[in-house]
A and B are shown apart, each in its own frame.
Chain A
Amino acid sequence: MSSGHIAGRWPAEPSQLDEYQPPAVPRTPVALLAASTVAFPPFGIAAIWHARRAGTALSPRAERLHHAARSRLFAWYSFGAAFSIAVGALLVAIFVLNDFRFARDYFSIEHLADSLPRLIAAFWKNLLASVVAYATSLAWGLVLALGRGLPGPAAAPVRWLAVVYIDIFRGLPILLTILIVGYGLPLTGLPFVKDMDTFTAGVAAMTALYGAYLAEVFRSGIEGVHQSQTMAARSIGLSYVQTMRFVVLPQAVVTIAPPLLGWYISILKDTSLLSILGMLEAVNVARISVINQNNLSALTGVALCFLVVTIPLSRLTDYFLARRARRRAGG
């Protein structure tokens, strides 16, 4: 190994010039840079200009290093710009190709204007079902989590039942659960369940499933409260139930609030599956519109209905998580 290589890419001393060999130019990055320069010239040209300066300028080592660094930076900018342009071009192509067929199918203002009022009216049903199912799932999930955490050998059957229930329902596809609980139960002719309407049956099915998921969220929150808190609560004479109610749960709920909000979004989205029970919720109504109008814009309309609710909620969840991270960091 010659000393020139050890000293760096550029020889520091003229005497080392003989030994200096420029590094081989890797082909793939150069090809990528050329392609991205074609897509969006400004960054690519800047990258190439800096690369040439770095390689040829008879200037101090520091300056050439500076040009090399700028070259690399602009090359990354160039890749990024070219990627965005490629994605944008693909989208435009989808809209434009085949004589604007996609745009007319999915974004027809007149069809949308016709169907949107009906979609919004039906979407209220999704909102109502999701809010009710969320409330009942929270309650049921809390009951399951508390049952699973009961202390003492006497409560072993309760713990065992809770574990089996949670395992079963977490392992089932939601569509199957809706069919088993929402479609099947009313057919059994058993008292009470035989009179369930579609809405109640759907909410019951979602509660059965999401209760199991939320139970696990509650359990993680409860277990996240340090054992010394329980000990302190017991030491001032609080009973097990009081310790849960006043000390453990209030702290657990604070930690699991963001994930709980995330689960609401899931429940709202899954209300679309209640259409399998014949419920006239938004997605179902949209399908009917699609058939009647012979146009797909109603699907776009119902998508917008969901996004108007879910995107702000997702942002809110992220905001809560970020705020907590900041607070933790702040001590």
Chain B
Amino acid sequence: MTFIDVSDVHKRYHAADVLDGISLKVDRHQVACLIGASGSGKSTLLRCINGLEAIQSGYIRVGNVIVSEELADHNELRKRVSIVFQQFNLFPHMSALENVSLGPRRVLGRPKDDAEQEAQVLLNRVGLGNKSRRYPDALSGGEQQRVAIARALAMQPDALLLDEVTSALDPELVGEVLQIVSELAHEGMTMVLATHEMGFARDVATTVHFLADGVVHESGPPEQLFEDPQLPKTRSFLKRLTEARRI
């Protein structure tokens, strides 16, 4: 069953069309990878799915919440779908534990002790059990991003949106974050992830979507899209990417 349904969505910033009639379907327990050049609308699409940005026209449904509808319950939606940002966006005045337990305490109304206990479990799971009292500025980029993932998971979402979660990391820290994302994928978490890590996308993706000019230009299983892209634009994008890697 389709869990995230995006169809013919238009989104404009000033005069520029960022999303130009984009459509996308993601089933439960699937991992959809969005690839494409910077500015192709990957991040914007994720933020629209989460209701963080309004759209001009089109239809977005997540579970049984129709996001694009007027009076859509965005707070209800965000309990179901969590987003992890490129720049982590942890709350700097809170410890890792407080960052993770804030949502459950204030949004789900859990008692402090319960919420912190569960937050500790989540931090253990991302390998930061011994650093739960640290503040973000005392954590490395990779550790901060793992806390951010734990914070997103704390809302017990049905789906996770990941917006280039490794792009702001030093190369040696990318692995620890991707490790956790791929564990989540194997556990059957429904995910939409925008990424530049093609090798990773090939490993975890159920479907890869190539975005260009605000639409999904070509979609397919990773083997097909990476090995045998059908459209010239996809081919040239992948070719540029492999060339860049060689340099």
A→B interface (CB under 8 Å): 228-229, 231-239, 242, 246-247, 250-251, 254
Contacts and interface: CB of A to CB of B under 8 A. Distances in A.
Interface residues of B, number: 24
B87 A228 contact: yes
Given A239-B75, A242-B107, 8 more contacts: A228-B89, A229-B89, A232-B90, A235-B50, A237-B78, A237-B79, A238-B102, A242-B106
B151 interface: yes
Contact of B83 (A235, A242, A246, A250): A235
Interface of A is mostly: helix
A238 to B, nearest CB: 6
What are the 6 closest A-B residue pairs judged by CB atoms, nearest first?
A: A232-B89, A236-B103, A237-B107, A237-B78, A228-B89, A235-B83
A246 B155 CA distance: 17
Contacts of A250: 93
Q: Residue among A231, A232, A237 with the most chain B CB within 10 A?
A: A237
Contact of A237 (B85, B90, B93, B155): B155
Contact of A231 (B75, B85, B151): B85
B111 interface: no
A235 B93 contact: no
27 contacts: A228-B85, A228-B87, A228-B89, A229-B89, A229-B91, A231-B85, A232-B85, A232-B89, A232-B91, A234-B52, A234-B78, A235-B50, A235-B78, A235-B85, A236-B102, A236-B103, A236-B151, A237-B75, A237-B79, A237-B103, A237-B107, A237-B155, A242-B106, A246-B102, A246-B106, A247-B91, A251-B92
A235 B50 CA distance: 7
Nearest to A231: B52
Nearest to A242: B106
A232 B152 CA distance: 10
Interface of B: 47, 50, 52, 74-75, 78-79, 82-83, 85, 87, 89-93, 102-103, 106-107, 151-152, 154-155
Contact of A236 (B47, B78, B87): B78
A239 B78 CA distance: 11
A301 B107 CA distance: 57
A232 B91 CA distance: 8
A235 B52 CA distance: 7
A229 B52 CA distance: 12
A235 to B, nearest CB: 5
A30 B107 CA distance: 76
A302 B161 CA distance: 64
A236 B89 contact: no
A231 B89 contact: yes
Contact of B107 (A229, A231, A232, A238): A238
A239 B178 CA distance: 31
